[in-house]
């Protein structure tokens, strides 16, 4: 094997090594309610189980979906919930049309999702957004808002399906995903 003799040769080799997936624009997910790693505002905290928040889903917006995206799904999960390892599902929204680039504040409470979008059951036992509410005295929990770009227009799951089934089908059809995380403790 001959050594690489120039910077131009090295640059060409690196450019050839970049896969199409690596070359695409990265998806972004943002919220005016919080930034990455920040504390969730009281508006996004559950109203129950000893918590007294607004239980309002935050506004979210996204860009950079990969080519071939036919729909989006949003999963909100607390991996730190003391459930024996499964965490806690706070919201599952799927079949969000591919031309949608965000969700307004409160959409998870009012049920006014974009046309065609559906919700699965949360670990609170119902559809809709369920805000943060970790046990009192726990270290702050992480709340992961993960947006998935999907290769199908509709998931083969029942409306109000359980979070585990919805998550399974989302992962089977994910082209790309991005996570925005916040914390909350009490």
Per the structure, the complete domain to which residue 126 belongs is given by: 25-184
138: tokens are: 């726990």
Whether 111 is in a domain gets the answer: yes
By C-alpha distance, which of 158, 1, 155, 179 is closest to 75?
A: 179
Q: Mean of the pLDDT values across residues 45-72?
A: 97
Torsion of CA 100, 105, 110, 116, to 10 degrees: 10
Whether 87 is in a domain gets the answer: yes
What pLDDT is recorded for position 25?
A: 57
What pLDDT is recorded for position 158?
A: 87
What pLDDT is recorded for position 108?
A: 83
Whether 168 is in a domain gets the answer: yes
122: tokens are: 């949360």
Q: Which residues pair with 121 in a beta bridge?
A: 162
Q: How many domains is the chain partitioned into structurally?
A: 1
Residue 1 reports pLDDT greater than 70: no
CATH at residue 167: 3.90.280.10
By C-alpha distance, which of 76, 71, 74 is closest to 100?
A: 71
Whether 12 is in a domain gets the answer: no
Whether 16 is in a domain gets the answer: no
By C-alpha distance, which of 94, 59, 88, 63 is closest to 76?
A: 88
Whether 1 is in a domain gets the answer: no
What pLDDT is recorded for position 19?
A: 39
At 4, the pLDDT band (50, 70, 90 cuts) reads very low
C-alpha 135/C-alpha 50 separation (Å) is: 9
**Residues 144-156: b if buried by 16+ CB within 10 A, e if exposed:** bbbbbbbebeebe
Whether 83 is in a domain gets the answer: yes
What pLDDT is recorded for position 110?
A: 73
The mean of the pLDDT values for the chain is 88
Q: Mean of the pLDDT values across residues 23-33?
A: 84
**Residues 71-99: b if buried by 16+ CB within 10 A, e if exposed:** bbbbbbbbebbeeeeebbbbbbbbbbeee
C-alpha 94/C-alpha 71 separation (Å) is: 8
Whether 2 is in a domain gets the answer: no
What pLDDT is recorded for position 20?
A: 40
C-alpha 183/C-alpha 78 separation (Å) is: 9
pTM: 0.86
pLDDT in tens, 109-137: 777 899 999 999 999 999 999 999 999 99
C-alpha 27/C-alpha 63 separation (Å) is: 6
């Amino acid at each position: 094997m001959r050594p690489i003799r120039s910077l131009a040769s090295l640059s060409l080799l690196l450019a050839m090594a970049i896969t199409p997936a690596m070359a695409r624009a990265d998806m972004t997910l943002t919220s005016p309610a919080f930034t990455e790693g920040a504390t969730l505002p009281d508006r996004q905290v559950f109203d129950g189980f000893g918590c007294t928040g607004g239980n309002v889903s935050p506004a979210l917006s996204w860009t950079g979906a990969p080519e071939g995206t036919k729909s989006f799904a949003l999963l909100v999960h607390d991996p730190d919930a003391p459930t024996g390892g499964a965490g806690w599902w706070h919201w599952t929204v799927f079949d969000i049309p591919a031309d949608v680039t965000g969700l307004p504040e409160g959409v998870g409470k009012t049920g006014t999702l974009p046309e065609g979008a559906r919700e699965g059951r949360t670990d609170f036992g119902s559809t809709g957004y369920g805000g943060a509410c970790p046990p009192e005295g726990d270290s702050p929990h992480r709340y992961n808002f993960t947006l998935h770009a999907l290769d199908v227009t509709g998931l083969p799951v029942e409306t109000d399906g359980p979070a585990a089934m919805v998550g399974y089908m989302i992962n089977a059809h994910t082209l790309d995903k991005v996570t925005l995380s916040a914390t909350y403790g009490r």
